[in-house]
Structure 1
């Protein structure tokens, strides 16, 4: 008798959105060869979930966005590791992504972290890569999440690279700022925290999103001004804001810069914070 499919239907609202980036990485390379990421695991996992990806592929913009942001996350982490080959990369809200396949240089250390309900499925489909690749439960709502992940206890330790993909827009504003405050207070100098977010205009409008509307998740937070991202600690510096969709086509290339001028922030971007 074959093993039953992992039951993604049991996932709560926000974790259930993991199927969107999984489908994009599994099937999007053929749609956008210039943005291909070459994920070795995604197609197998999508099949194991009993999902043919059809619902998600109708949203071509999101497929492109996932591939584009994956490449940007990957490139920024690789830059960090180029300077610190034995550095530590931590993926907060990892879902079913596997950045270790792209970043492993034989020395780096990778921690994939998510809620227990997600990791139950992840462990069925994607075993950790070995001693330098670990998986840990984390709840960013908990005040001790930094210590729970075994992150540096002192600012004098080596810098770390944190990434959080497709997570912050679903968090309550107070939770976002608590997470950034912890990073600002605890991370060694030279550490990076990279995350993607839509601006404040998207909050409360998930039902208008072509993919997220098929889940029960809601957009809760987005920055109104870039200064909002560094207000929680004087040690935080906004190193860069990387637009994601402006290379998708001419409407985005024109509207994106105009939107930033009018509203002060990109509609959707990947933000790179560093500690001083």
Structure 2
């Protein structure tokens, strides 16, 4: 199988150390396999994407030497492809309109499928949901770090694949684009592992190939929370001279044990060593990494 990997950030703000670790792990896995590494900007939610954020992400990746193959793909241009996929699901009874509010069903934990036989509130704006009861059950796959995975769709609920405001939801967009770009390997953070069952169901329902998965441990802050844009994690630099020690730290967070002597080496030298010594099997199956100083 030809290796095609990808990094697909949401441009809701600049990259931080946690997203650097995810990008680096994905890039190393692709380069060590002699494969392609694609960059996709997941900008399907314009209210969350401030002007200039996408360009800053590109500058940050370039500062760390994480170059990509081909043109950058922007999901905001992909609405027609998502509509084709949704139409296919609806025509086969695999997706349905739903006017229920979160307040009405939140006591159930997951959406209980009230609108599967027809919307209970057709007078309201409608979301579109996936019928997870008609997909693979159970959903299983092998994660390259965390091993065999098994999920019961009933514990996940019928996920929204198009929102009430007309915007496309992440689950459908990511599956359609991964298939269109022939992505063979998805390397991303552990926080997305429990999204994989919905994506595996969509892949099956739409007749797409199933990629391999490798979920990476999350980087935690001193407060015990995952580093994230929502938690105002500090952005990584856009100058290569400032990136060297942080790249070395990111390799440690991937359990690659880079030599201390490489800490101040050039970006190219560090990446060349890292590609040559990339060992996914060394990544510990612990979903969290020790806290890092707030300066990062």
TM-score (norm 1): 0.28
Q: Which has the bigger relative contact order, CA under 8 A and spacing at least 6? A: 2
Determine which structure has the larger helix proportion and give its number: 1
TM-score (norm 2): 0.27
Which of structures 1 and 2 has the bigger CA Rg? 2
